[in-house]
Chain A
């Protein structure tokens, strides 16, 4: 049979993580990401890995912290309220310069919200949802194939820059089924001389810690960390540009919103409206330059979001408010239709 298999987005993340050499999963069930944990529960015991359903999200993220300190690839997954609970642990992992993968299959909020899809955790993911000065790498897949591919990439980037990475998906991507070619088995794990693996009396012992007793040392650690973040911003920006060559208007959307937007762009083009799409794949680092460049070319932007308008702030920052940016959104678990996006493009002046 062909290499392609039909998978749910949640399952694709799980299988891709295993193939990327992640043998440790800690989580706690929550709709709409539960299939990911369920897949791990089925598969990990068969391959000698660890699946552990912790007593809470807090416990799970701190187990991730522990395994990350040993240099092993490790992950957790949850949905919005559960990821909020993990924020303290994520801050500690970032403050200890450890790689780990956190998956957020977002659902409606705030509070307990609902179980339908959402993108209202953009702020939390990209601005550091926990305390202190830190960033995590945030990748936003828009297909089941990317759920798999970006999972592998998340591990690689986390290892490379010694920082947590997050896969920011949503309920639709987690639940929908699409054909996927699973990534080959790999473990591109870099050398981890900092890992706490036992010295065997041969080296100085390593310390994994986020507590610094002297403020000037803590400041130095922060400055050094931000030098690393600059490298990430320089090297790791990823985005997709669609029909932008002659575009007079630019739609900006990620994840499931980008798929809907793409259909709206195609429909608009059929009506003779010159519009294109920029789809951020990395939400942090945000594709500032491509957007700034687009601002010199287009008359305005539409930010399509399953939230009350979060990414729109980063678009305005990226383009230094040079051009108008309007919001096209649904919230609470609802999804915008291509028609709604098309209306917004026209409202921006794309009405011929």
Chain B
């Protein structure tokens, strides 16, 4: 577990959900924790949706005051920089999808690289139509690296079909995740699984996920 953890990936691969869950995880270990919402491309379903629960646990939420409002502005909260000077705090970054979402990362590149103690995880969901296999996922990965300027340090397999995910979907995707690991030369650091399924998946480094509640 590094002091700075970034989650990037293809649009809709599950970055926000993992970032929120990961922040809770760090906090549960007793560390000071902040989560930074740097998603400037997604108008709905943001870190901000979990703000109350996060803050209740003592996690500092850094997001635009008008996230989830009708102000559709791609801007960055200036408070984001504070995590680089607060050395006693762990920080989780939720980055927008694809290369277009990762451009925002570019301006933090010098701070992140100076930090050294960071991880940049590539979130892969092989159930997404434009990243169905390792090669396609690698293509997106390279585009993101080019835009965000921060090299990836590991892969997260978050293959899922939302509420309809079955254990078999995850097991089937494991081979593709390992192949992506091989061709990208990056370790497969975890497989994220909806919490009610997590106990039944026999694989290394399972990270259980709580999904956000919907009422439709």
B127: contacting residue among A1, A11, A182, CB under 8 A: A1
- B1-20 interface code vs A (CB 8 A; 1 in, 0 out): 00000000001100000000
B45: contacting residue among A6, A114, A175, A259, CB under 8 A: A175
- Chain B CB within 8 A of A104 CB: no
A7: contacting residue among B72, B126, B129, B215, CB under 8 A: B129
How many Å from the CB of A106 to the closest CB on chain B?
13
In order of increasing CB-CB distance, the 3 nearest A-B pairs are A114-B70, A179-B161, A259-B216
Q: State in angstroms the CA–CA spacing of A259 and B72 once bound together.
A: 27
Contact status B129-A1, CB under 8 Å: no
Q: State in angstroms the CA–CA spacing of A62 and B176 once bound together.
A: 45
User: Contacts A1-B127, A32-B44 given: A6-B162 contact, CB under 8 Å?
Assistant: yes
In the complex, what residues of B have CB within 8 A of residue A7's CB? 12, 128-129
Q: Given known contacts A11-B129, A179-B162, what 7 new A-B pairs fall within 8 Å (CB)?
A: A1-B169, A5-B127, A5-B132, A6-B125, A175-B42, A178-B164, A182-B129
- Chain A CB within 8 A of B173 CB: yes
- Chain B CB within 8 A of A4 CB: yes
How many Å from the CB of B27 to the closest CB on chain A?
26
- Chain B CB within 8 A of A15 CB: yes
How many Å from the CB of A237 to the closest CB on chain B?
25
Q: State in angstroms the CA–CA spacing of A83 and B12 once bound together.
A: 26
* Chain A minimum-CB-distance residue to B168: A2
* Chain B minimum-CB-distance residue to A35: B11
Q: List 18 A-B contacts (CB under 8 A).
A: A1-B173, A2-B161, A4-B161, A11-B12, A15-B129, A42-B130, A115-B43, A115-B72, A171-B43, A172-B44, A175-B42, A177-B12, A178-B162, A179-B161, A182-B129, A260-B215, A333-B70, A338-B215
- Chain A CB within 8 A of B172 CB: yes
* Chain B minimum-CB-distance residue to A43: B130
- Chain A CB within 8 A of B157 CB: no
How many Å from the CB of B133 to the closest CB on chain A?
9
Contact status A260-B169, CB under 8 Å: no
In the complex, what residues of B have CB within 8 A of residue A11's CB? 12, 129
In the complex, what residues of A have CB within 8 A of residue B132's CB? 1, 5
Q: State in angstroms the CA–CA spacing of A31 and B42 once bound together.
A: 9
How many Å from the CB of A74 to the closest CB on chain B?
22
Interface residues of A in 1-58 (CB under 8 A from B): 1-2, 4-8, 11, 15, 31-32, 35, 42
Q: State in angstroms the CA–CA spacing of A51 and B172 once bound together.
A: 35
Q: State in angstroms the CA–CA spacing of A7 and B69 once bound together.
A: 24
User: Contacts A32-B43, A172-B216, A175-B44 given: A6-B160 contact, CB under 8 Å?
Assistant: yes
Interface residues of B in 113-167 (CB under 8 A from A): 125-130, 132, 160-162, 164
In the complex, what residues of B have CB within 8 A of residue A114's CB? 69-70
How many Å from the CB of A195 to the closest CB on chain B?
32
- A321-346 interface code vs B (CB 8 A; 1 in, 0 out): 00000000000010101100000000
How many Å from the CB of A261 to the closest CB on chain B?
9
Q: State in angstroms the CA–CA spacing of A15 and B45 once bound together.
A: 22
Contact status A177-B162, CB under 8 Å: yes
- B51-84 interface code vs A (CB 8 A; 1 in, 0 out): 0000000000000000001101000000000000
How many Å from the CB of B144 to the closest CB on chain A?
15
In the complex, what residues of A have CB within 8 A of residue B12's CB? 6-8, 11, 177
How many Å from the CB of B2 to the closest CB on chain A?
28
* Chain A minimum-CB-distance residue to B173: A1
- Chain B CB within 8 A of A116 CB: yes
Interface residues of A in 93-133 (CB under 8 A from B): 108, 113-116
Contact status B129-A5, CB under 8 Å: yes
* Chain B minimum-CB-distance residue to A142: B216
* Chain A minimum-CB-distance residue to B161: A179
B132, B169, B172: most-surrounded residue (chain A CB, <10 A): B169
Q: State in angstroms the CA–CA spacing of A259 and B163 once bound together.
A: 15
Contact status B70-A115, CB under 8 Å: yes
- Chain B CB within 8 A of A218 CB: no
Contact status B164-A179, CB under 8 Å: yes
Q: State in angstroms the CA–CA spacing of A227 and B24 once bound together.
A: 62
In the complex, what residues of B have CB within 8 A of residue A175's CB? 42-45
Q: State in angstroms the CA–CA spacing of A179 and B162 once bound together.
A: 7
